[in-house]
């Protein structure tokens, strides 16, 4: 099962982090920092795999890929295949690329919720759900279409006084 998906830039700033088992915020930060410190010490042209039992407990592996200013990181256990996970990152990036046409770090920062939508279509509760980027894009587009439709109505902000009830 996949334990976590992370994206961080080359300075170690997290851009997206999703843990499939609940972890307190401090622990998440510690893990993100830990992963980054390992990643940034890796030389160029080495393998994309890491065994990081020290951070995530026994039988944890990590696959990462470095794109321009971003690291894409997947953490998972022994029930997944490393090479396949590497391709899952590829799927994710390809999908994002199609969604944002030439994805860059800023797209990820500013489209936080859309990023999560895309990710949720690919990885669901720690399991790989869909690996065809065309399928993912179709699902995401459908969602955004429906959202846009409901948005059109709510663009005029109707103040709900009931919200202050609590």
Q: Write out the residues near other proteins by the rule CB under 8 A.
A: 13-14, 16-18, 20, 22, 25-26, 28-29, 42-43, 45-51, 53-54, 79, 81-84, 86-87, 90-91, 109-113, 116-117, 120, 124-132, 134-135, 139, 142-143, 146-147, 150-151, 153-161, 163-164, 166
Residue ranges with strand state E in 29-162: 49-51, 60-67, 70-77, 123-124, 127-128
Give 87 or 97: the residue with its C-beta nearer to other proteins: 87
Q: Whole-number minimum distance, CB 108 to other proteins, in Å?
A: 11
The Cα–Cα gap between 128 and 15 comes to 21
Give 40 or 83: the residue with its C-beta nearer to other proteins: 83
Characterise 102 by phi-psi region: left (phi > 0), alpha (psi -120 to 50), beta (else). Answer: left
The Cα–Cα gap between 109 and 159 comes to 29
Q: Whole-number minimum distance, CB 74 to other proteins, in Å?
A: 13
């Amino acid at each position: 099962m996949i334990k976590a998906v992370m994206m961080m830039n080359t300075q170690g700033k997290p851009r997206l982090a999703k843990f499939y088992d609940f972890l307190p915020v401090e622990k998440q930060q510690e893990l993100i920092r830990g992963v980054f410190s390992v990643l940034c010490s890796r030389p160029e042209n080495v393998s994309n795999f890491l065994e990081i039992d020290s951070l995530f407990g026994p039988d944890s592996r990590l696959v990462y890929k470095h794109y321009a200013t971003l690291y894409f990181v997947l953490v998972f256990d022994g029930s997944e295949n490393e090479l396949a996970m590497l391709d899952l990152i590829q799927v994710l990036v390809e999908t994002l690329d199609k969604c944002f046409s030439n994805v860059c770090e800023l797209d990820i920062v500013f489209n936080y919720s859309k990023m999560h939508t895309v990710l949720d279509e690919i990885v669901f509760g720690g399991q790989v759900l869909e690996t065809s980027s065309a399928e993912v894009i179709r699902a995401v587009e459908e969602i955004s279409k429906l959202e846009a439709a409901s948005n059109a109505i709510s663009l005029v902000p109707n103040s709900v006084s009931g919200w202050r009830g609590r």
